[in-house]
Homo-oligomer: A and B are copies of this chain.
Amino acid sequence: MMHSFTDLIEQFSQQFNHRHFPETPKRLYDAAEHILEIGGKRIRPILCLMGNELFDTIHPDAFEVGNAVELFHNFTLIHDDIMDKAPLRRGKPTVHMLYSEPAAILAGDVMLINVYEQLNKVQSRYKQKILSVFNKAAIEVCEGQQMDMDFESMEPEEVKYEDYVNMIALKTSVLLAASLQMGTIIGGGSEGNQDHVYAFGKNIGIAFQIQDDYLDAFGDPEKFGKQQGGDILVNKKTFLLLKALELCTSSQRAHLKQLMATSPDDKVAQVLQLFRDCRVDAWAEKEKERFQQIAFESLENIAVLSARKKPLMELANFLLNRQQ
């Protein structure tokens, strides 16, 4: 009997939601616990459990690796929030705001080392492979973060669309893909199946990010739960903005650049109108579908009975149709 993703979230949380670190040194470990208490969707460990269950009943190692990827994700949140000087995360003060930047740097570091203590618990027959898949993704996450910071300091027209997609893939999708792959390794999936599973996770991740950008601009704020046009207000480089600059006429581009430079009161409404005029809203829906399509083809290609793919299909639909 396969588990639904809500079952798996429940199972994972039961063993994850406890204190992970010793009591002392108090500032170090309280800072580390703080980010874990803020919580989150625990989507990466669930992918690891699902990757395992695609091929075999869930092995305890999938929980160990799930713990590792969730700790790693939280390590990136602590350090990214320092780099971005973010005061809040999910409405709560970030670690560096509560405990100082040095304490937050160190809390992230000790969390990253603990990731490898978790990974060291898996069976030795696939330890090397798991470590290698994990390290590749972890390095790519850092590279994506650096690219993101590099793009920050560039004019939006200087950022090539394909480089932006690559940055998003590294920063947000490869860890989803690697979580699925590590689960697959534990479940005994072949190398070919590992590749399909990885491609599924990576492309779902990119499609999700395009949707996220779309909803920030065009979503119903009541259903989406965020201020509409938040990205537009701060001139954030998004799929929509970069593509709009590519699609629009030179007079539209001049108008868009002027709105970004001057931020008038009706900036969001004006930018949204420009986005609609150059049809970037329709483009985004198609672009999301394109990556979704690649993801579902990869899912098709996994050589197991299609009934076993149902939870992954459900999770993908949940992630990619949030507004409905």
Contact = CB atoms under 8 A, between A and B. Distances in A.
Interface residues of A, number: 35
A295 to B, nearest CB: 26
Contacts of A254: none
A186 to B, nearest CB: 17
Task: Rank and list the top 5 A-B pairs by shortest CB-CB distance, nearest first.
Answer: A83-B102, A28-B146, A25-B146, A110-B142, A120-B131
A106 B120 contact: no
A135 interface: yes
B143 A109 contact: no
A72 to B, nearest CB: 9
Contacts of A147: 25
24 contacts: A25-B146, A25-B147, A27-B149, A28-B143, A28-B146, A79-B105, A83-B102, A102-B149, A103-B146, A106-B146, A108-B109, A109-B112, A109-B142, A110-B142, A110-B143, A113-B135, A113-B138, A114-B139, A116-B131, A116-B135, A120-B131, A120-B135, A124-B127, A127-B127
A39 B150 CA distance: 28
B102 A82 contact: yes
B120 A128 contact: yes
Nearest to A139: B113
Nearest to A136: B117
A163 to B, nearest CB: 11
A227 interface: no
A132 interface: yes
A25 B83 contact: no
A74 interface: no
B120 A124 contact: no
Main secondary structure of the interface of A (DSSP, over half): helix
A101 B127 CA distance: 34
Nearest to A82: B105
A145 interface: yes
B105 A83 contact: yes
Nearest to A111: B142
A253 to B, nearest CB: 28
Which of A103, A114, A143 has most chain B Cβ within 10 Å?
A: A143
Given A114-B139, A116-B116, A120-B128, A145 B106 contact: yes
A109 B79 contact: yes
Which of A105, A127, A149 has most chain B Cβ within 10 Å?
A: A105
A149 B132 CA distance: 34
A16 B287 CA distance: 45
A301 to B, nearest CB: 29
A150 B108 CA distance: 17
Contacts of A108: 109
Contact of A124 (B101, B105, B106, B124): B124
A103 B139 CA distance: 14
Given A112-B112, A114-B139, A135-B116, A27 B150 contact: yes
